[in-house]
């Protein structure tokens, strides 16, 4: 892992959960950004779709968190708009089998993530401010920023994560293969 992290620190080859067919988790969903991100706005929820998976996060609007949220890689995200132009997303209930960044920084199920999405430059960029608290993994809260640039418009491209993908980088993790089919 050290060698992979040194490559990531040098900007050469960063770990990406999606390369091993794992969910990106939160805040990894927006921190590890290499693919286009789409927003689908509904009355009661916002869907965030990462084209590269495709992965989908659901953000339920204007509701409180559940008393006992189901633990999952994307947890339970609730959101609201502030000032009409900033989507604030509060996420809890995250499983501890994802990472928070390209360096495979682990976290516990006590992680709490708040993301603030705001369009800037007349809609040409999307600024995401992220705050992470996890008393089980970090001694203090930390923040990150991600900027997306609008590069194209149009339909989402179909990206299929197929079994036996020969373009897969096996140095990240191997795809399990059965000796013989079980069907």
Digit-coded pLDDT (tens) for 124-157: 899 999 999 999 999 999 999 988 888 766 666 6
Residue spans per domain, the chain: 2-149
Instruction: Determine contact, residues 22/98, Cβ cutoff 8 Å.
Output: yes
Predicted local distance difference test score (pLDDT) of residue 39: 87
Higher local confidence (pLDDT), 12 or 76: 76
Alpha-carbon distance of 178 to 111, in angstroms, equals 35
Q: Report the predicted TM-score, pTM, of the whole model to 2 decimal places.
A: 0.77
- Residue 19 pLDDT exceeds 70: no
- Residue 24 pLDDT exceeds 60: yes
- How crowded is residue 130: how many other Cβ atoms within 10 Å of its Cβ? 20
Digit-coded pLDDT (tens) for 89-104: 999 999 998 888 767 7
Q: Of 22-36, 136-150, 164-178, which range is least confident?
A: 164-178
Alpha-carbon distance of 38 to 126, in angstroms, equals 11
Residues whose CB is less than 8 angstroms from the CB of residue 178 and which lie 6 or more positions away in sequence, other chains included: none
Digit-coded pLDDT (tens) for 33-83: 567 788 899 999 999 988 766 678 999 999 999 999 999 999 999 999 998
Instruction: Determine contact, residues 111/90, Cβ cutoff 8 Å.
Output: no
38 phi and psi angles, rounded to 5 deg:
-115, 145
CATH no. for 2-149: 2.40.128
Alpha-carbon distance of 137 to 142, in angstroms, equals 11
């Amino acid at each position: 892992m050290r060698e992979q992290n040194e490559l990531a620190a040098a900007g050469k080859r960063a770990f990406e959960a999606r390369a091993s067919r794992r969910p990106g988790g939160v805040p990894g969903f927006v921190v590890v950004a290499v693919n286009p991100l789409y927003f689908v706005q509904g009355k009661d929820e916002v869907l965030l779709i990462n084209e590269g998976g495709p992965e989908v996060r659901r953000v339920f609007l204007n509701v409180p968190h559940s008393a006992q949220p189901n633990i999952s890689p994307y947890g339970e995200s609730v959101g609201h708009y502030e000032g009409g132009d900033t989507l604030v997303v509060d996420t809890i209930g995250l499983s501890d089998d994802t990472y928070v960044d390209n360096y495979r920084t682990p976290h516990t199920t006590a992680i709490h993530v708040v993301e603030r999405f705001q369009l800037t430059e007349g809609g040409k960029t999307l600024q995401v401010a992220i705050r992470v608290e996890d008393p089980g993994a970090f001694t203090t809260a930390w923040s990150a920023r991600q900027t997306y640039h609008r590069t194209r418009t149009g339909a989402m491209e179909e990206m299929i994560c197929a079994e036996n993908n020969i373009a897969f980088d096996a140095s990240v993790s191997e795809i399990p293969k059965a000796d013989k089919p079980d069907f």
